[in-house]
């Protein structure tokens, strides 16, 4: 077998196998996600269901920050910085309460699986089409 006759089929079968593997991984991710969402609805609760209580020192720090705002010994520029920090902290806290971490995780998993399918299927199909075309030429 000459060099030119075995390189192309090896390449095509290798790329077909890689495309098929990527497609299978993506499809298994979608199936896993579907099972978690519709059948095993409590599958992710151990990750997202039990959050530990907020530490107590946060309340004390907020009280200290509020006390600093009313303190007469703090410079006016520092009071402006403290007020800006307090506003940023309250904004962060309000935004953090609105985040659904379970949904975010599931959407990330779906995006990963769909991207694998969108890459794996064309890779598999294109190379398998070329293999069938080459085999047809050899049989004619």
Residue 46 burial (CB < 10 Å; 0-12/13-18/19+)? exposed
What is the DSSP code (8-state) at residue 44? T
| Domains held by the chain: number | 1
- What pLDDT does residue 60 have? 60
The answer, yes or no, to whether residue 19 has pLDDT greater than 90, is yes
CB 18 within 8 A of CB 123: yes
Assign 56 a pLDDT band (cuts: 50, 70, 90): very low
Q: Is the pLDDT of residue 13 over 90?
A: yes
Mean pLDDT on 51-75:
65
Output the DSSP codes for 50-100: -PPPPPHHHHHHHHHHHHHHH-TTS-HHHHHHHHHHHHHHHHHHHHHHT--
**pLDDT band with cut points at 50, 70 and 90 for residue 44:** confident
pLDDT of residue 69: 72
**Nearest in space to 67 (alpha carbons), one of 81, 52, 82, 87:** 82
From its phi and psi, is residue 11 left (phi > 0), alpha (psi between -120 and 50) or beta? Answer: alpha
Query: Is 57's pLDDT higher than 60?
Result: no
Side-chain half-sphere CA neighbours of 41 within 13 A: 1
pLDDT band at 117 (very low <50, low <70, confident <90, very high): very high
Q: Please give the pLDDT value at position 59.
A: 55
How much is the average pLDDT of 3-11?
84
Domain range for 13 is: 3-139
DSSP character at residue 40: -
Helix or strand (DSSP H, E) at 45: helix 45-48
pTM of the shown model: 0.64
């Amino acid at each position: 077998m000459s060099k030119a006759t075995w390189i192309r089929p090896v390449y095509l079968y290798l790329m077909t196998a890689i495309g098929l593997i990527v497609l299978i991984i993506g499809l298994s991710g979608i199936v896993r996600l579907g099972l978690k969402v519709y059948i095993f609805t409590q599958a992710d609760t151990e990750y997202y269901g039990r959050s530990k209580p907020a530490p107590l020192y946060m309340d004390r720090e907020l009280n200290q920050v509020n006390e600093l705002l009313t303190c007469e010994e703090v410079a006016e520029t520092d009071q402006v910085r403290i007020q800006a920090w307090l506003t940023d902290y309250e904004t962060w806290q309000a935004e953090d309460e609105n985040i659904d971490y379970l949904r975010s995780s599931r959407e990330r998993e779906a995006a990963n699986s769909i991207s694998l399918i969108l890459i794996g299927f064309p890779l598999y199909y294109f190379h398998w089409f070329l293999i069938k075309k080459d085999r047809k030429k050899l049989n004619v």
